[in-house]
Structure 1
């Protein structure tokens, strides 16, 4: 059989299909191919992947990519492609006043993009100088309706921040209004809980199934751990279908909180970066592979880590079976990753350190069947 690209000799990890084995991966016309057993493959380009893992293209569920419209916005392709990321969601950088600019901007990017728009009209432009106004009396349903129509298939939901310094005297009023707004449009809601005005379990109890509570292992104020135990409200919300996302960020990840929660049985549904200009390529966040490495060092299995950056976020973004898998016939998005065995010190957002012995190093990224990044080590 003929292929455009053959990834040869790697260990394929595709949690969506329960695959973890050494096998070749063939790509033609932007799609993954089924290789019949024993059939030779004639490929225009062969990528040697012995001693590497081959995964579906990584999906970063929580970023800030309003590069031309926000002080903290990242250039999507530059941030994503060298890190194996082929699809990305922006979490609240834009609002009803400026979403068109980001939709237009990302039309020219290679990486696949989706968006959760902020309930605040301007989104998160430059939080220190222009904190988002959250008075629900200013919200206009017709503007949200227009945004969802203009961004059909790309604008997937809403975002609200509930930190004390953001909501001030409004307390839970913006969150409760955002929940009602999301219900009116049958859209999921992303909720930022760092330093919340009430316990995180109480926040989670308010959320509808399909809502995303990000920064699940944040360490400021009230956290997911209450008196040494998991919040009962968080456990009950998970049973109802509330989604828990890491969204590491600059201030939103604590090793002590994460280790305790994992030991008590609370795993995140997704692992993401909350990447922005403030933390891109900077310690402690650096990149999605670095955040993934932090969960490996805390004892999570490699397959579980890959699941949380491939098929799980694909499902949340409405792309189950299309993204986050290497099933034959699906869009050929893939990452070739070397697991380097060497000493490393991982850090959280508060200076806590966790020594490890493994680093995930992306050596190649394939997007829609095209080799869009290749490290020198893959020559």
Structure 2
């Protein structure tokens, strides 16, 4: 087991408080009983911040059997991510081939596109659902007792071909989500529909991902945040960062912060093209960007632990933690439009504990 001494942690309400001392239990094996397990004491700096349970990346793409965009599990663990939401990599037709994990907990959003993003960058045109296709989609949600086997919700991707297709996707997605009684996640970047038209059809618990994107269909209106979008968020619409390579704008994000629209979930939208590459790198890097722009530690804690845990229906892990510490080195945090925010440093994982065992330790920095 691992005992963390020093540093700061979060209380039940998400407030940052001095760490009273935290023991992380290891997973016992037949070869090693609890009495035989040694305790490793780790001394943390005063500035270190402990995220008990580890990070949950609400929106990324896992490598499955037949896609070319998903990422592997091992890199996630080393970055402190112990649970993820796979956001529409696979569709209702090839869901059985989706990415599986051994240590990282995973839940998925099934794409309304037949085969999801497995033919990326080619995105097929959506022409609607037949009755037989509706039945096949419903089968994926039939066994609600086996949470890891069925999707957590539906995903649609706007902005690919035309206004007509976007409207059909939105109407169909909303109808199917209501029929199945699951949330709908909407990819907003490049939408041919206005953000107002999109959110007016959504309900509390639905997810607007790439919420802070700066391209067509963004949430700005006359220089500020659209009142329609602000009202939808107040009524329970989920705002997901989904940073990615093309889905984040400082101009939009800063306007949103001024309007009090902080993200519900902080996520990377990781693919093979963005893993450990600018402007995403990893989840702690995205968190550093948003912290530098004004998000509080409480906002970040809820964004990478509490909210994604609730929305993905995951049980908190008592055998995991990630510890961040500050590295002073001038950073140029860029967005998809090339705009830059200068910051004095970056938060990075100095310790990652999974299954009660240290898998990353960089305490010398």
Taking structure 2 as the reference length, what is the TM-score of the superposition? Answer: 0.90
TM superposition shift of 1:297: 1.1
Q: 1:337 aligns with which of 324, 333, 340?
A: 324
TM superposition shift of 1:178: 0.8
Q: 1:173 aligns with which of 155, 161, 168?
A: 168
Residues 15, 307 of structure 1: 8 Å contact kept = no
| 1:10 is aligned to 2:3 | no
TM superposition shift of 1:94: 0.5
| 1:296 is aligned to 2:291 | yes
| 1:238 is aligned to 2:224 | no
Measured in 1, the distance between the counterparts of 2:162 and 2:22 equals: 49
TM superposition shift of 1:234: 0.7
Measured in 1, the distance between the counterparts of 2:241 and 2:108 equals: 17
| 1:111 is aligned to 2:104 | yes
Question: Runs ≥4 in structure 1, deviation > 3 angstroms?
Answer: 14-19, 149-152, 166-169, 375-379
Measured in 1, the distance between the counterparts of 2:354 and 2:13 equals: 18
Residues 210, 240 of structure 2: 8 Å contact kept = yes
Measured in 2, the distance between the counterparts of 1:286 and 1:76 equals: 15
Residue 31 of structure 2: aligned partner: none
Q: CA distance change for structure 1 residues 115 and 101 in 2, over 3 Å: closer, same or farther?
A: same
TM superposition shift of 1:45: 1.4
Residue 137 of structure 1: aligned partner: 129
Residues 6, 43 of structure 1: 8 Å contact kept = no
Measured in 2, the distance between the counterparts of 1:247 and 1:316 equals: 15
Measured in 1, the distance between the counterparts of 2:195 and 2:227 equals: 10
Residues 8, 16 of structure 2: 8 Å contact kept = no
Residues 16, 311 of structure 1: 8 Å contact kept = no
TM superposition shift of 1:335: 0.4
Measured in 1, the distance between the counterparts of 2:111 and 2:167 equals: 16
TM superposition shift of 1:332: 2.1
Residues 134, 167 of structure 1: 8 Å contact kept = no
Residue 75 of structure 1: aligned partner: 72
Residue 205 of structure 1: aligned partner: 200
Q: CA distance change for structure 1 residues 171 and 116 in 2, over 3 Å: closer, same or farther?
A: closer
Residues 14, 55 of structure 1: 8 Å contact kept = no
> Residue 129 of structure 2 aligns to a residue in which SS?
helix
Residue 22 of structure 1: aligned partner: 19
Measured in 2, the distance between the counterparts of 1:335 and 1:55 equals: 5
TM superposition shift of 1:75: 0.6
> Residue 210 of structure 1 aligns to a residue in which SS?
coil
TM superposition shift of 1:357: 1.2
| 1:146 is aligned to 2:139 | yes
Q: 1:89 aligns with which of 81, 85, 90?
A: 85
Taking structure 1 as the reference length, what is the TM-score of the superposition? Answer: 0.87
Measured in 2, the distance between the counterparts of 1:238 and 1:178 equals: 19
Residues 160, 178 of structure 1: 8 Å contact kept = yes
Consecutive unaligned residues of structure 2, counting only runs of 5 or more, are 29-36
Q: Deviations over 1:189-239 (max 9, x none)?
A: 110011212211221111021100000100111311111121111112112
| 1:54 is aligned to 2:50 | yes
Q: 2:215 aligns with which of 204, 214, 220?
A: 220
TM superposition shift of 1:81: 1.2
Count, aligned residues:
351
Measured in 2, the distance between the counterparts of 1:250 and 1:117 equals: 22
Measured in 2, the distance between the counterparts of 1:17 and 1:359 equals: 21
Measured in 2, the distance between the counterparts of 1:334 and 1:280 equals: 21
Consecutive unaligned residues of structure 1, counting only runs of 5 or more, are 32-41, 324-329
Residue 307 of structure 1: aligned partner: 302
Measured in 2, the distance between the counterparts of 1:29 and 1:281 equals: 29
Q: 2:156 aligns with which of 152, 155, 160?
A: 160
Residue 127 of structure 1: aligned partner: 120
The residue correspondences of 1:40-51 to structure 2 (distance < 5 A) are 44-51=39-46
**Aligned alpha-carbon RMSD (Å):** 2.2
TM superposition shift of 1:334: 0.9
Measured in 2, the distance between the counterparts of 1:310 and 1:226 equals: 31
Measured in 2, the distance between the counterparts of 1:229 and 1:256 equals: 10
